[in-house]
Each structure stands twice: as C-alpha cells, then as structure tokens.
Amino acid sequence: MDAQAELTRRPIAFAGSRLDRADHIRGDPEAVTRLMDRHARLLLLDGLEPRLDADAALVWGTLADAAPDAELVLLGLTEQGHARFVAAPPAGAASVSPPNPRLWQAISEIPAQDLAVYGAARSMAGWHARHRFCAMCGHPTVLAKGGWQRNCTSDSCRSEHFPRTDPVVIMLVEHEGRLLLGRQPRFLAKRFSALAGFLEPGESLEEAVAREVFEEVGLRVGTVTYIASQPWPFPSSLMIGCHADADSTALTIDHNELDDARWFTRAEVVDAMAASERGELGEAFGAPPRHAVAWHLLDWWLKR
C-alpha cells in the first residue's frame, strides 16, 4: 500500500463519524420531534468539554437530562436509527480559546469514533452559543432544521444562518530533501510543526499556501499538492494538509507569526517521529501530537 492510500485508510482525529447526519429528516420538524423518543440520547458536556467514563468514552444521558428550555441539536442517527443530540449551551458560554491541557490529554485517549462525534458536537454547540443574534439586524435567532440552521425572528429580516467552517491550509514545505517546520510562541519548548494559516476570500488552496509561506518565512513555493484534511473543532476549522516545494532555503521569519522556523533533515524527522511514539522529544525537535494532521503529514512524507 502506498503512502497516500495508507493515509486515506488510517483514521485522523475528529474524522470518521459513523452517525448518519440525516439531512433528509432535519427539514421536517415533526420528524425530528418523533426522534425524541426513549431511544434518543443526549451527549453530556461540561460547557464544551466532554464528560468521559472510566474508559475515556463519551457519556450519554437521556433527553430528560437537558434543561427544560434547552435547544437540542440533532447530531445524527445510529446504525439502528436512534437519534443522538447535544444541547446548545447558553449564549456566550462557548470560548474560542485553545483547549486546556486536560482536554489535550483526553483527546489522546478518547476512542476514535467517540472523538469524531465529539468534534462535530463541540463545533455545533459552540456555533449555536455564538450565534444567538442575527448578524444582519441584531434580533434573536431560533434553532431550525434540527439545529443545522438558525433563523432570525424579525419579520422584516428573516435571515437564515448556517454553521460555518473556516478552512486552514497547513503545509509541509520541502527543498532538496529537507523539510521546513515552524513553532508558534504558544508551543511547548522544542516543539515544531507544519506552517499553517487561514484561507482568505478569493483564494485557491494553492494561492493560500504560497501566500502564507511567503508571509511567514519569506519563501516562494512552486508545486503545491493536496495530501489530506482534518476537521478541527477549536472552534470550527477544516485543516487542509498540503505539500509545497520551495525555491530556496533562505528564511525571513515574521516573528509576529512564528517564534522560530528551521530546516530539518530526513534523519531528524525520523528521530522526532520515533521519539513521539515513546512520548518523548526528538534530538532536533519535538514532533506534533498524533491527533494533529501535521503528524500525519510528517508520517506521509517519510513513507511516500
């Protein structure tokens, strides 16, 4: 199996949920209500953080565990056709700050299927908490389409609002067999990862990769190749993994964006990835955690 096929087969954190999103049901309020039966379950969260049992699995309650006035978002249906919901938190309860260290540790332990469900639930619950008012006129909005839409309550506006996903390009930059990796000031000591940045309006993926690399390290890149993607619910991004060839190795680092950026040899990447499997840092740098798409990009690069 080649590296690209193996990457496609291997689960990436927050992807791969087996829940049927049931778009054919969402638009029918009566059908959604009928799903709120004795088989329905509610994902229990503390704010946006998951409640976990002794095996690090998600904890589910009944719909009776929701507050009487809670807005319930239909996450999807199980293979048996049973509904799974999450309650939208109160307005302002969703933070866009990075997850706390406890959650990072939990992410490495939560079973893959549960992590995929949690990722979607966190993104949706956070979106509802941040969009209780219409961006067009300021009036309150109400849940619609099973939670996959919010409608303005103003008769003169009636705008419809939909969950957003912010695309982010994250790229391995290569020159003659060496990889460029960077570190942000918030990274733990010695940690390096792939460069990344938000896609801007009117850009293709290739243009976004080229712009971000030039802005952050002053390099021009040629061929850009898509590798893999990952939903990232902090708060609601899609990480689009790419590979790009650089024209040179001379760096001009934007220290407003990066604390440091360096070129690493294949041997140094091999050592860092092996060390990460042992929970350690490599000799030259510490690899990104396995739940990040950057880890999978490095693994792909070594195996291709």
- In a domain, residue 133? The reply is no
- Could you say which residues of the chain have pLDDT below 50? 1
pLDDT number for residue 4:
61
Q: Which domain holds residue 51?
A: 15-127
8 A C-beta contact, residue 174 and residue 266: no
pLDDT number for residue 303:
94
- In a domain, residue 283? The reply is yes
pLDDT number for residue 127:
94
pLDDT number for residue 103:
87
198 and 87 share one domain: no
pLDDT number for residue 232:
96
Which residues on neighbouring strands pair with residue 179, listed in sequence order?
Answer: 174, 264
> Torsion-angle region of residue 244: left (phi > 0), alpha (psi -120 to 50) or beta?
beta
8 A C-beta contact, residue 4 and residue 304: yes
Q: What is the pTM of this model?
A: 0.93
pLDDT number for residue 119:
96
Specify the pairing of strand 166-175 against strand 237-246: parallel
171 and 83 share one domain: no
CA–CA distance, 4 with 90 (Å, rounded to integer): 42
231 and 289 share one domain: yes
191 and 254 share one domain: yes
pLDDT number for residue 286:
97
Tally the domains of the chain.
2
Helix or strand (DSSP H, E) at 296 = helix 293-303
CATH number at residue 237: 3.90.79.10
pLDDT number for residue 90:
81
Residue pLDDT, tens place only, 128-175 = 999 999 999 999 999 999 999 999 999 999 999 999 999 999 999 999
Domain boundary among 70, 104, 127: 127
Task: Taking the CA atoms of 42, 45, 46 and 51 in sequence, report the sign of the dihedral they define.
Answer: positive
pLDDT number for residue 92:
66
37 and 118 share one domain: yes
- In a domain, residue 23? The reply is yes
pLDDT number for residue 27:
93
CA–CA distance, 12 with 210 (Å, rounded to integer): 25
- In a domain, residue 90? The reply is yes
120 and 210 share one domain: no
pLDDT number for residue 30:
97
